[in-house]
Amino acid sequence: MRSIWRTLDRRLARDIGLVCLADTIVGVSYGAIAVSSGFPVWSPMLLSLLVFAGASQFMFIGIVASGGNPVAAVVAGLLVNARHLPFGFAIGDALGRGWARRVAGSHLMIDESVAFALAQEDAAKRRAAYWACGIGLFVCWNIGVVIGAFAGTAISDTDAFGLDAAFPAVLLALVLPSLKDRATRLPVAIGVVVALATTPFLPAGLPVLLALVGVFAAVDRQKVEVMS
C-alpha cells in the first residue's frame, strides 16, 4: 500500500484530497437527510459501509421516505449501479490481481475513483489514483455520514443548507477536463441530451442509464478510425 502513496504526485494527491473533502460534505448531507426523514441513526451508516454508492443511497432513502416500497427502492439502486459494469471493463487492470484485491477494489468502485483512474495514462499512476481515491473517499464519506446522521436528529429542514448540490458539482468538476478531448465530446453530448430528454418521464436513475448510449457512439468512432 505504501507504493500507492509514493506513486502519487503532489498535484494528483491535492485533487484527490479536495474531492474527499467535498464528498465528506455530501456524506454529512446524506446522513442528515436520512435521519431527518425518519430513518434510525444507524441505517445511513450501515448503508454507507455495505453499499458505498452515494447516488443509490440517496435514491433508496428518497424513495422509502416518500412512501415507496423498499423492494422498489433496492431495485432502483441496483439499476443506478448497473453503470459499474462498464466501469469494471474500463479500469479492471487498476484493481490488481487476486480475488481479495478485486473484491475490495470492486467495493471502492465509484464515479470519482473511476474518473481519476481513467485520467492517468501511466499504469502505475492509474492504479495508485484508483486506490488512493477509493480508500480516501470510503473513509471520508463514512465519517461525514456519521456526523450528518447525528446532526440530522437536531436539523428539521436539511434542504435549507443545499448540501445535496455538492455531489453533482464534484462529478461535473471531474468530467470537465475530459471534454478537452474532441473524441469525448460527442458521446458526452449524446448522453446529456438523452438524460435531459427522458428525465421528466422516467423514474430517477433510469435517465442516467439510458445516457450510456453515448458510449456506443465512441465505440463506433473508434472502429471507423481503426478501419481507416
> To the nearest whole number, what is the mean pLDDT of the chain?
76
pLDDT tens digits for range 91-111: 777 777 778 888 888 888 888
pLDDT computed for residue 165 by the predictor: 59
CA nearest neighbour of 74 among 66, 63, 83: 63
The answer to whether the Cα torsion of 133, 135, 141, 144 is positive or negative is: negative
pLDDT computed for residue 223 by the predictor: 44
pLDDT computed for residue 87 by the predictor: 78
pLDDT confidence tier of residue 224, bands split at 50, 70 and 90: very low
**Do 62 and 94 sit in the same domain of this protein?**
yes
Mean pLDDT, residues 9-20: 84
Least confident interval from 13-27, 137-151, 156-170: 156-170
**Do 75 and 100 sit in the same domain of this protein?**
yes
pLDDT computed for residue 222 by the predictor: 45
What are the start-end ranges of the H helices in the chain? Answer: 2-7, 10-36, 42-50, 54-65, 70-80, 84-91, 99-107, 111-118, 123-151, 166-175, 182-198, 206-210, 213-227
**Do 149 and 113 sit in the same domain of this protein?**
yes
Range of the domain at 137: 2-179
Full-prediction pTM beyond 0.75? Answer: no
**Could you tell me which residue, 53 or 165, shows the higher pLDDT?**
53
**Do 57 and 19 sit in the same domain of this protein?**
yes
| Total domain count, the chain | 2
C-alpha cell at 167: 455531489
Assign residue 53 a region: left if phi > 0, alpha if psi is -120 to 50, beta otherwise? beta
**Do 162 and 190 sit in the same domain of this protein?**
no
Cα gap 167→149, rounded to integer Å: 17
Cα gap 137→33, rounded to integer Å: 19
Mean pLDDT, residues 120-136: 84
Three-class DSSP category at 16: helix
**Do 122 and 224 sit in the same domain of this protein?**
no
Three-class DSSP category at 211: coil
**Do 93 and 191 sit in the same domain of this protein?**
no
pLDDT confidence tier of residue 226, bands split at 50, 70 and 90: very low
CA nearest neighbour of 101 among 127, 140, 138, 133: 127
- DSSP one-letter string for 191-203: HHHHHHHHTTTS-
**Do 104 and 163 sit in the same domain of this protein?**
yes
**Do 151 and 187 sit in the same domain of this protein?**
no
76 close to 205: Cβ distance less than 8 angstroms: yes
C-alpha cell at 50: 455495505
pLDDT confidence tier of residue 206, bands split at 50, 70 and 90: low
**Do 74 and 139 sit in the same domain of this protein?**
yes
Q: 219, exposed or middle or buried, with CB in 10 Å at 0-12, 13-18, 19+?
A: exposed
**Do 174 and 200 sit in the same domain of this protein?**
no
**Do 70 and 169 sit in the same domain of this protein?**
yes
